[in-house]
């Protein structure tokens, strides 16, 4: 595969930016960046850091569930289930990315893999993921999220958009061929 390093750089950039922002938040709250530990022993939550504007706060919270707080109520086995499932899915996507994916799928998949690894690092280190971006309207809050979650969501949206555009190009090309214009 040509330009494999381009996708490795996307993956590593997503991980580094995610872990750097989470590390800065941990440092601002605790005065240190712990390498490992039980999440709630490090920082009790929720911890309001600052209100940025009327609809956005920077908070600090631990998410023991999946993206956007899903699976939060599964209990003590949740970290093991989520870590195992995440590692397996990362492996599948990474294999597909580097071995089989068409060109238009590679950058979005790299962004998804980088985001998933960023959250996996937190789960292995702390048993939960650091979330800190809090958007709200009045009293209604979107579940707090982080840079890794953003990478995953943007990667999925980009992948869907690329898929739609690729199908559209394919349909247009087949119609042109059928009409004898090619």
The CA–CA distances, whole Å, from 86 to 30, 63, 78, 115, 159 equal 28, 15, 12, 11, 19
Residues 122, 51: contact at Cβ < 8 Å?
no
Distance separating alpha carbons of residues 16 and 148, to the nearest angstrom: 10
Within 10 angstroms of residue 59's Cβ, the number of other Cβ atoms is: 18
Q: Burial code of 77-96, b = ≥16 C-beta within 10 A, e = fewer?
A: ebbeebeeebeeebeebbee
Residues 47, 60: contact at Cβ < 8 Å?
yes
Chain mean position to CA 51: 24
Q: Which residue has the tokens 């943007």?
A: 154
Let me know if 149 is a catalytic residue. Answer: yes
Distance separating alpha carbons of residues 66 and 72, to the nearest angstrom: 7
Let me know if 131 is a catalytic residue. Answer: yes
Catalytic-role residue among 18, 122, 134, 149: 149
Active site residues: 131, 149
């Amino acid at each position: 595969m040509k330009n494999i390093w381009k996708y490795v750089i996307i993956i590593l950039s997503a991980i580094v930016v995610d872990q750097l922002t989470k590390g800065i938040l941990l440092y601002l709250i605790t005065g240190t960046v712990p390498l490992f530990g039980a999440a709630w022993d490090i920082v009790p939550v929720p911890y309001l850091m600052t209100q940025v504007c009327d609809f956005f706060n920077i908070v600090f919270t631990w998410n023991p569930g999946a993206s956007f707080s899903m699976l939060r109520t599964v209990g003590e086995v949740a970290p093991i289930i989520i870590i195992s499932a995440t590692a397996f899915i990362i492996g599948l996507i990474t294999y597909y990315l580097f071995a089989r994916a068409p060109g238009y799928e590679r950058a979005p998949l790299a962004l998804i893999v980088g985001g998933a690894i960023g959250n996996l690092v937190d789960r292995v280190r702390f048993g939960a993921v650091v979330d800190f971006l809090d958007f709200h309207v009045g009293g209604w809050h979107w579940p707090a999220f982080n840079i890794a979650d953003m990478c995953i969501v943007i990667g999925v949206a980009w992948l869907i958009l690329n898929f739609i555009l690729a199908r559209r190009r394919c349909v247009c090309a087949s119609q042109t061929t059928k009409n004898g214009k090619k």
